[in-house]
Chain A
Amino acid sequence: MPDSMNPSPVTRHGKPLRAILQPAIVYCLLIIGVLIVVIPLMWALAASFTPNHKVFEYAYPFSWRALLPVDFTMEAYDNLFARGFGRAISNTFFLAIATVIIGGTVNALAGFAFGRFEFRGKNLLFLLIVMLTFLVPIDLTAIPRYILVNSFGWINTWQGLLVPGLANSLVIFLFRQFFAEIPQELIDAARVDGATWLRVLGSIVLPISKPVLVAAGLLMFISQWNSFFWPLLVAPRQELRVIQVEISLAVGQYGTIWNELLAGSMIAAIVPILLVIPFQRYYVEAITGTGLE
């Protein structure tokens, strides 16, 4: 029998058992992981569309109904917006978009300098930025930054929220890496035609830099959208609250209106999810790009 010569068992269709078993195990493990990822989100989403007194109805004891909005209502979202939650959403959008535009400009300029020029002190300055990013996590210096911003009179202001986070070394890295790979001929041609460097950046380099613009934009937008510690310290006043601060303070204030808490959380979650999923290649490159250098 040929079987005796074959070291691995063979199924009816002639494939080695291992070739079927291995993918099956991989899929099983992947599905277990997916359940851990998806169940909390499905429950939270379903519960946000559920009357408050029924939020935990199917969670304990657990039934599959917990994952679907079987008692559908918009009550939580209506109440949340009546309470002024829209303000937190528009604040966060405004802050994130301002960060992308102003911060993007600042970081692209710096990335261009590092990527395309040789100048005295370049390596030293770059090292300084690397060290600051790697060795001094932003949250660790929050208190002196708070005292500094306070001395500018920027507590509970837009400037206090926006300005300290504009320069972002990760984004500078991304721009530097991309700009360094642009062919020299393109830039030389424009320079020969007498274009200024700012013009070279604006009309030659940026139009062919869509991948890095998308990646950097996503990175800045999402990290600002999800930022919490600094806005909590610098702008706790209600009119300036960003979404992460708003939902987090609600844990203490309206801790038992669970459906509203979850509705706010789902709004806070859905915006970055909707941005990341269609652009996942760019986003993954943006967050991993700096780590692999």
Chain B
Amino acid sequence: MRGKQQIIPYLFLLPALILLIVFNLLPTIATAVESMFVISLRSGDRVFAGFANYNRIFNDPIFWKSLQVTVVFSLIVNPFQITLALGLAMLINQKLPGIGIFRSIYLLPVAVSLNVTAIVWRLMLDKNTGMINGILFQLGIERQPFLHSTDLALWSIIMIASWIGVPLWSLFILAGLQNIPEPVLEAAKIDGANSWQSFTRITLPLLRRVLAFVLVADTVANFLLFAPILLTTQGGPQLSTNLILYETYRRGFLYGDLGASAAMLSVMLIIVFLIVGLELYVLRGDD
């Protein structure tokens, strides 16, 4: 009887576990293996190549440029999104009439896909006829080539990603704010703390875990930004928006060089491990 009992949870787990092992765990291991092979999408030939793929990408200025763009992008987009998300969460956490309507409206970008967002913004940012330039025109400012200049394109991508990212991450922070017991903030007020003091000394420390989660999740999500690049700049102009996941796609699926692509993905996997590990270490709580 006990033996029979023991087997039941495993049976319940089995379908999910098999699927996760086959489609998630194996491909993770295989990424490392695949990076040692040279394979052609067209002919299907697959030849062991040792570290040749790594050698190729490490000696490839396009790969380094892509990594550099990704680092610059990450260093700007993550603090930008999290700061604004924190601000937005504080705003929609106010107990004011009509706040529910605002919360619903801010949910709209979260429901919409990155693809739709990118398509709409691509047209909004068009250098000749886009609405943003139309608004600048009314303000007497000349047209800006938002997606066609090496100075502006990456910023445009940051704005597009943030249109979804800020409201999305604010939901997590809002949930964290709502977990802060009201009496704690009341007590601070009675003790004479002004709003800034109660924000920095009470709210922020109590949000630590949520902010740590958001920082990790946001960093990983932005590290893997793909659709907006494909749909707006395709990595250009002059590779200035050639983020790393787009580069792996370009290599693997546009040029059929799956080996180099897998090598880059392995490097990315290691980078994700390091980022998540480092951020969790730096932000580790007392518990």
Contacts and interface: CB of A to CB of B under 8 A. Distances in A.
Contacts of B213: 291-292
B224 A26 contact: no
Given A110-B16, A229-B227, A292-B213, A30 B102 contact: yes
Interface string B262-287: 10010011001100100000000000
A148 interface: yes
A269 B116 contact: yes
B261 A244 contact: no
Contact of B20 (A34, A169, A266, A276): A169
Interface stretch (B68-76, B88-96, B149-157, B182-190): B88-96
Contact of A109 (B12, B137, B262): B12
Contacts of B133: 60
Contacts of B134: 58-62, 66
A164 interface: yes
Given A41-B108, A273-B108, A140 B265 contact: yes
B54 interface: no
B196 interface: no
Contacts of A265: 115-116, 119-120
Given A27-B96, A248-B231, A273-B112, A59 B175 contact: no
A135 interface: yes
Interface string B158-191: 0000010001100110011001000000000000
Interface stretch (A9-17, A111-119, A181-189, A208-216): A111-119
A147 B115 contact: no
Nearest to A248: B115
Contacts of B8: 117, 197
A291 B96 CA distance: 27
A172 B111 contact: no
B262 A143 contact: yes
Interface in A255-273: 258, 261-262, 265-266, 268-269, 272-273
Contacts of B49: none
Interface in B20-48: 20, 22-28, 30-31, 33-34, 39
Q: Chain B, interface size: which category?
A: 35 or more
Contact of A147 (B128, B135, B230, B258): B258
Contact of A43 (B24, B111, B124): B124
Nearest to B223: A137
A266 B24 CA distance: 32
Q: Which of B31, B111, B171, B179 has the most A CB atoms < 10 Å from its CB? A: B111
B63 interface: no
Interface residues of A, number: 91
Contacts of A287: 110, 168, 171
Given A26-B94, A229-B227, A268-B116, A129 B20 contact: yes
Interface in B91-131: 91-92, 94, 96, 102-117, 119-124, 126, 128-131
Contacts of B96: 23, 26-27
Contacts of A169: 20
Nearest to A266: B116
A70 interface: no
A148 B30 contact: yes
The 6 closest A-B pairs by CB, nearest first: A62-B134, A144-B30, A60-B134, A110-B16, A167-B19, A117-B9
6 contacts: A110-B15, A134-B276, A135-B273, A167-B24, A172-B16, A280-B104
Interface of B: 6, 8-10, 12-13, 15-17, 19-20, 22-28, 30-31, 33-34, 39, 87-88, 91-92, 94, 96, 102-117, 119-124, 126, 128-131, 133-135, 137-138, 163, 167-168, 171-172, 175-176, 179, 209-210, 213-214, 216-217, 220-221, 224, 226-227, 230-231, 245, 248, 252-253, 258, 261-262, 265, 268-269, 272-273, 276
